[in-house]
Each structure stands twice: as C-alpha cells, then as structure tokens.
Structure 1
Amino acid sequence: MRFDRVIWGVVMSGMVAGCSLPGPGDIPADGVYDPYEASNRRTHAFNRSVDERFLKGTGGGYARTVPGEVQQGISNFAETVSLPQTVVNQILQGRLGAASKNTLRFSANVLMGFGGLADVATEMGLPEDGTDFGETLSVWGVPEGAYLELPVLGPSTERDAIGRFADLFLDPVSYLVPAPERYIGTAARTLEMVGDRGQYSDTVDSVLYESADSYDQLKLIYMQNRRFELGQEAPGNEIDPTAIDVSGF
C-alpha cells in the first residue's frame, strides 16, 4: 500500500471526526449551524472583493467573448474528465448501477464525442449524474457539520470541505495521466465555473451586491441547493434550490 494513501486515510479519519455537532438550542431559526459566522463573514468579504474585481457581470469577460459553442465544448470536456472520480464515489456509495452508466457515459463521450468535447452520451440515454465525496460521506452517515465559507471556493460545510479535499485523491485521472496533461481537466473545470458565473450573472450579482445581507442570502441559497441535492430537508422555503448553481463563488 502506498505510504501517501495511508497518511491520507489517517488525515481523513481525523477530519471526519472533527465535524462539529450542534448542541441543544444551537441551530437558529434558518436551520443552518453557523458557529464560525465571524470568520465566515471575513472570508465572504474577501470572496466578494475577488468576484467584484475579476468576475462581476460576465465572468471576467469569458461569457461575453468566448463563443457559446466553445464554452459548451469546454463544459462537456470538464464533465467528461470528472466522470472517473464520479464513478469511484458512486461505487463507494453502493450505487453500482449509476457507476456502470457513468462508465458507459465516459466511454461514449471519449470515443464518439471527440475526447469529451461533445456530449453524445445524453442523446444515447445516458444523462449526466454527478456526485462527490461530500455526498459519499453523507451516505455513510457523517454529519453535515458547521457551515463554512472557503476562500475563493465559496460556500461549503465541514463535511463538504472534507469531501473537496478527498476528491483530490479519488480522481483516477491524476494517477494515470502524467503532468502537465493531468492539469488540463482542472483548467477546463475552472473555465466551466467562470462560464457558469457569467451565465448566472444577473442572479449572482443580485445576491452579492443588491441583497441586504449577501452573506446570509448566499448561505441560505447554498444550503437549500445542497440539501436538495442530497435529498434532505432544506432550510426555509423562499428560494428555489434548483434556480442557481452556487459552486465556485
């Protein structure tokens, strides 16, 4: 067994054990446990300043200057190269049927979709079915923990922050593809997030720059969306959890 994987396992065990559990009366009316609000708000102010300087309006000009079909091709490629990691998580979740379908989806898009630039699998009845290690931890019964806002990466929870870290080690592409080629997928995923920022610019700008309290608004949107994805009860009922993609801001 590789030594780095042993170290990763030890670190993961410690991090999972460290997920905060709210005590009686610790969860506020909005249903989100947020004991780190002061530091989260400082991070939120930093993230908002980064967004305002580089992404506000049209995703840093990416959505305005790059043709739509090119943006779609990059998004398709980013999703395709993420599929091996998705398959690993679905196996860990015991969703073997979904893992098999995503394996077929990956093969179809790579072999017939110009290396993943075209999504031919959806037309073949193999639609996108994403997941991550945060959801794997949820399936395993790990508690959600406290709400966090991460620098640059944006809204999260303690469990999902651990999941983001673990997913770095669960991607088979990172072991099979040598550098620097392995970083092409990371670059594509980054451009995809920038494109999403441009696509949802009106809504995101409204939340970040027109809300009475952009921190609380973003927190509620993220938690509603995430709990909806996991099939859990979402806090509040004012916002459609499917209305906006909040990853990466």
Structure 2
Amino acid sequence: MSRTLIHLKSLCIALTTIWLVGCSSTPSQEGASGDPKDPLETINRPIWTFNWEYADKYVLKPASEAYVTNVNEDFRAGVYNMALNLNEPSAVINNLLQGKFSDAAKSTGRFLLNSTIGLLGFFDPASDFGWGRKHEEFGEVLGSYGVGDGPYLMLPGMGPSSVRDEVGDFVDRYYWPMAVIDFWPNLVRIGIIALEQRSQLKDQEQMLENSADTYEFVKNAYFQNMKFKVYDGNPPIEESEDDEDFEAFMDELDTIE
C-alpha cells in the first residue's frame, strides 16, 4: 500500500472516530448551547474569537485591503482566475461521481479552454461560451449520498468547517493537478484566494457585527451554505427565526467564487 493511501486511510479512521464520538455524545457532552451539531463548542468559540478578533482584524483584513488597494484590478482578476482554474479537474470528477454529466462536461471544457487560449486560466474565455464556473467539492459528493456534516469545527486561522468538509478537502487535494503542486506554489495560490475572497466579504461585515452572537451566526450561515451547495441552490425549506438575515447573507456568499 502506498504512503498516500496509508495517510488517507489513517485520516479517514481518525475523522470517522471523531464523528462517531460527536454523534453519540450525551446532552452533557454537547456544546454550551446544546447544539448537537456543535459538541466541541467550548473549543470552537475561543478559536472563533482568535480568528475574528485577532487573525482577521490584524492580519487578513489589513492584508486584503492593501492587496486590493495596491494591485492592479485586472491583474488581480487574472491571478485569481488562475488559482481557481486549478480546481476544475476535481470539479469534473466530483460532478461525475454525482451523475452530473453536463456539469462535468462544462468543467472539462472550462479547464481545456482556459488553460490554453486563456493562458493557464489568467483569462476566462469559457464564460463567453456560457460555461460558468461551478466548483464541486468531494464533501458535496458525500453530502449528496446522505453523509451528514458531522461535528462543526472552527479551524485556527481558517474558519468554519466540519468533519465531512475536512474529509472532502483532504480527498480534493489528491486530485490532479493539486497533488503535484509543491508546497510553496500552493501556499501562494491559497493566499491569493484568501485575500480575494476576504475582500469580497467586506459588505457582509456589518451584518455580522449586528448579529446577537457572531459565533452562532457564522455557524448557522456555514451549515446553510453547505446545504445550499449539496442541493445545488435548492435546499429543503426550513423555518428559522433568522431566515431573512441568513437569506441575505447567503445571497451575498453565492456571488463569491
């Protein structure tokens, strides 16, 4: 068995164990709010405070503002397109795994056209053919087959996630070309995406600040966003006292690639 498969098997076993422990927790083991999706709330909340009050406030937000202010907009758009273009092969496979053959064909066309005529994805001629970007992650594949989110996770310096999302991200990293990209080029790619997406969240900051509990707001928005993705924009309707705020927030998130 290759080292890659050993690592994948070990991670899956570890994450599955965490998932089962979280799902089988008693009420006393659940988070302070009693949310069964968030059995690790006592750990997640301090990490959220660190992310929002320190990492974002003093590092990510200023860096994003400096990036937007000092880098040419067309160049920014180009390198952002290049970073996202590398996700297209994984989108092809993940669409095929869900039986979305039309979307898989579009992702294939996008990657081939943008990687050649579009100069490695700097330009996006595929959009002129009506082949809009629609990224599919392996976590969405799992969700489409009925696999639950698992316990909510707040990752230091990265933000909200879940066991299913982390398993999906791990698998996505082993698709070509992500599997052959070295550490530093991939770090630059991740940095470009983070700076660009942080700048696009600027309009949602006030909505977040006005929420009664920023931690709960972000958690609920995260789960709604995941459900939105799994159901391709048509999730089952559920009642929520914060429906209007979440709906507005999700509309904004939907515009972010």
CA distance in 2, matches of 1:146, 1:176: 31
Unpaired runs of at least 5, structure 2: none
Say which is worse superposed, 11-20 or 147-156, in terms of deviation: 11-20
Amino acid at match of 1:243: E
CA distance in 2, matches of 1:109, 1:30: 48
Whether 2:176 is the aligned partner of 1:172: answer yes
CA distance in 1, matches of 2:161, 2:239: 15
Q: Which of these residues, 28, 40, 44, is aligned with residue 44 of structure 2?
A: 40
Aligned to 1:221: 221
CA deviation after TM superposition for structure 1 residue 22, in Å? 6.5
Relative distance call for 1:44 and 1:29 in structure 2 (3 A) is: closer
CA deviation after TM superposition for structure 1 residue 9, in Å? 3.0
CA deviation after TM superposition for structure 1 residue 245, in Å? 6.2
Aligned to 2:252: 243
Deviations 1:34-55 (A, max 9, x none): 1211111011011111001013
Relative distance call for 1:50 and 1:24 in structure 2 (3 A) is: closer
What's the TM-score once normalised by structure 1's chain length? Answer: 0.83
CA deviation after TM superposition for structure 1 residue 136, in Å? 1.6
Q: Relative contact order (alpha carbons < 8 A, sep ≥ 6): 1 or 2 greater?
A: 1
Relative distance call for 1:129 and 1:70 in structure 2 (3 A) is: same
CA distance in 1, matches of 2:224, 2:109: 31
Amino acid at match of 2:176: P
Say which is worse superposed, 29-38 or 84-93, in terms of deviation: 29-38
Give the structure with the higher percent helix: 2
What's the TM-score once normalised by structure 2's chain length? Answer: 0.80
Identity %: 27
CA distance in 2, matches of 1:227, 1:106: 26
Amino acid at match of 1:244: L
Amino acid at match of 2:60: L
Aligned to 1:122: 127
Q: Which of these residues, 17, 21, 27, is aligned with residue 23 of structure 2?
A: 21
CA distance in 2, matches of 1:220, 1:246: 18
CA distance in 1, matches of 2:114, 2:36: 39
CA distance in 1, matches of 2:40, 2:31: 13
Unpaired runs of at least 5, structure 1: none
Say which is worse superposed, 154-163 or 58-67, in terms of deviation: 58-67
Q: Is the 8 A contact 1:54 1:60 kept in 2?
A: no
